[in-house]
Structure 1
Amino acid sequence: MTDPATPREEFQVPVIDVSRWTASSTEERAALALAVDEAARTTGFLQITGHGIPDTVQADLAAAMDAFFALPLAEKKALCAPPEINRGYTPPRAEKLSLSLGVSSPEDLFEAFNVGVDGSTCPDGTLPAAYFPANAWPDPQRVPGFREAVEGWFDRAGALARRLTGIFACALGLPEDFFRPYTDRSVDVLRLNNYALPDGETRIEPDRMGMGAHTDYGIVTVLWADRVPGLQILDLEGRWRDVLPAEGALLVNLGDALARWTNDRWRSTLHRVLPPADPEGRLVRRRSAAYFHDGNHDAVISPLPVCVPAGSEPLYPPLTIGDHIAAKLSGSRALRPNDDAARESARLLAADSGDSAHSGDRGGNRR
């Protein structure tokens, strides 16, 4: 087992500048789309520069997160929601992300706060509350400016995610607006994560994950994270590789919906977060904000004909995004193992039985 104090190998995720997508020549757009296709086929993760989100917006978000997570636990717990409502506060040890793959593990250490598209604000009532529940906000007197900072990031990250889906369509040889009918009422969620130990605990238990191994559920995730080690992705050889965000870059990874649409030509990459710890085994500060652009709840995902080899059957049957996300959340939030993730769980279990000591793994994903 590797000592937690040992420096870990940094895995290079492709860096792609998207700033000139709309103003580029045909040749430049083709080159960018080719780079995206290569990254999507090999790692399922990208580092995006030229994203256009000002540093001040990110700084406001980080300050808002710090203020909220510093509140007393009882005050944060007042914002908890039932497992089927993907909103509000989640305390440490309340979720097991690995159960979204049907694989059991100890409870995860992260705490989180979720907001999303609020159906109650839609004037024509076309967004059903089951998929677009109301947000629960902390008292603005206790956390001044929190809602404004979070909504500011939500809007900016959402605009970037929608721009990326246009690039993805071109990378697949499809019209740039191909995904628009599947995402014009997208069940988008922003999850603010803070890695913390429950009150009274000072050391990280063996085999405990900051966030258990999982794939993301929807189309694409836009992630801001502290430049603190912890995030790992599973590579093509089944090895856990460390990822540290480049300065000023946002991490972007593909979700299950794109893997299903592309018949696994593109990867919904397994990833996890080791507990960020000092040499004495004490948790150190790490924050992240994951914007999930998941698609319309009633959109049907079916492998694209262009991605299914002639004479072959598709790897996945048709499935609505809403049903897929519900099955995943019933694992991670309601702690009921998801039985419809055989391909992903097989990859995870194969990795566990292989080179588990790779790159500071610490054996943390052994069951």
Structure 2
Amino acid sequence: MANPIFPIIDYSRIVSKDATIASNEKDKLFRSFQDVGFIYLKGSLFTDEFMNTIFSHIHKLFALPEEQKLAIEGSEKTTFRGWFAPVKTAQNPESADQKEAYGLGNDADPTRPNLWPKDWPEFRQDCSRFFEQCFQMHLDILRALTEKVGLPQETLVPSVKAKDSYTALLYYPETTVESFNQRVRSAPHTDFGTLTLLFNDSVGGLQVRNKQGEWIDAPPIPGHAIVNVADLLSRWFNSQLKSTEHRVVAPPVETRRLEDGLVASVVPARYAIAWFGHPNRDAVIKPLEECITADYPQKFEPVVAGKHVKERMARLLDEGKLPEKWSDDMHRKEVVAVP
């Protein structure tokens, strides 16, 4: 394996019953999120067999005829559950991200029902299992981070226990190199909530902006997830933990010989599954007192998590991509009820 650009953190060591092993891994985790905001995570709760099954589901889902995908199309009114393609919802399709997505949340939440494909119980069962186990890993990582700033492990748990989190199955279709002159696969952005757990196939394209402002490739490592800090977690920790910009661009192209003998360069399709951890909709997010210091004076005012997330998701649907940086003045000016 080539040298990874992010530290590798072992989840099994974070939850180890050996206090010394767990403490050392938590120290490494906290320093990594302070430094770059991204890690590779090994030792997760998922077997290779289960992840292969999930990716098989993703391939099948996005290969469905468009009329079947339209039957489960999501929108702001459906609280962003279901299938959507930015090129179909964006005000300017020519600059929208080159991807399709399918979103789902906590299947036990009757206020935000998921839009499941018909006659496919295995899909619902496996996606629900994925959601629940990502939520468990998310809790354990939050516990580790709060412990490292001198707080009880359960400090943040009440603010996320409603499971107002979100899974996105992602498909970036095969395309041409030239298409990237106008549209990338995912425009530069930071994530909205607490933590993102990303599981990639073997096709690259993810890039992360480093401290020097350069875009650095973040290739997938088999058997590892990529985990990054999102905006509301950074806000809780008063920016001590970094919510870092990232994007998805063209991976290395494939050269194919066509039937007429000509050679074409093709950007291969890419599949990924992302779990976006979010606080409870009604949680008020403001810097923890323990994170306000002389070196880190208070940087953020309080914000309601549900409004923040809804506004950013609406921006994605309207524009087909997310803004590179987000600030509170990007919220809609009219009063928006917390979902």
Question: Structures share a fold, TM > 0.5?
Answer: yes
Is 1:341 paired with 2:326? yes
* Identical aligned residues as a percent: 26
Is 1:191 paired with 2:180? no
Deviations 1:176-226 (A, max 9, x none): 11111111103111000010169xx89624131111111111111111111
Which is strand-richer, 1 or 2? Answer: 2
Which residue of 44, 47, 53 corresponds with 2:46?
53
Is 1:90 paired with 2:84? yes
Kindly indicate whether structure 1 or structure 2 has the higher relative contact order, using CA contacts under 8 Å at least 6 residues apart. Answer: 1
Which residues in structure 2 correspond to 1:24-63 (within 5 Å)? 24-63=17-56
CA shift, 1:11, in A, is 5.7
SS in structure 1 at match of 2:13:
coil
Distance 1:312 1:25 in 2: 32
Tell me: CA distance 1:69–1:34, structure 2 relative to 1, closer, same or farther (3 Å): same
CA shift, 1:284, in A, is 0.6
CA shift, 1:283, in A, is 2.9
8 Å CA contact 2:190–2:325 kept in 1: the answer is: no
Which residues in structure 2 correspond to 1:250-289 (within 5 Å)? 250-276=225-251, 277-278=253-254, 280-289=264-273
Q: TM-score, normalised by structure 1?
A: 0.78
Following superposition, which runs of at least 4 residues in structure 1 exceed 6 angstroms of deviation? 336-340
Tell me: CA distance 1:342–1:320, structure 2 relative to 1, closer, same or farther (3 Å): closer
Distance 1:271 1:39 in 2: 16
8 Å CA contact 1:218–1:293 kept in 2: the answer is: yes
Tell me: CA distance 1:215–1:94, structure 2 relative to 1, closer, same or farther (3 Å): farther
How many residue pairs align between the two structures?
Answer: 317
RMSD: 2.9
Tell me: CA distance 1:260–1:214, structure 2 relative to 1, closer, same or farther (3 Å): same
8 Å CA contact 2:174–2:268 kept in 1: the answer is: no
Q: Extract unaligned runs of 5+ from structure 1.
A: 1-8, 122-128, 346-367
8 Å CA contact 2:238–2:298 kept in 1: the answer is: yes
CA shift, 1:94, in A, is 4.0
Is 1:23 paired with 2:16? yes
- In structure 1, the partner of 2:101 is 112
Which residues in structure 2 correspond to 1:1-367 (within 5 Å)? 12-84=5-77, 85-91=79-85, 93-94=87-88, 106-118=95-107, 120-121=109-110, 129=111, 133-140=112-119, 143=120, 145-196=122-173, 204-276=179-251, 277-278=253-254, 280-310=264-294, 313-335=297-319, 341-342=326-327
8 Å CA contact 1:204–1:283 kept in 2: the answer is: no
CA shift, 1:148, in A, is 2.0
Tell me: CA distance 1:311–1:255, structure 2 relative to 1, closer, same or farther (3 Å): closer
More deviation in 308-317 or 210-219? Answer: 308-317
More deviation in 36-45 or 18-27? Answer: 18-27
Distance 1:344 1:223 in 2: 29
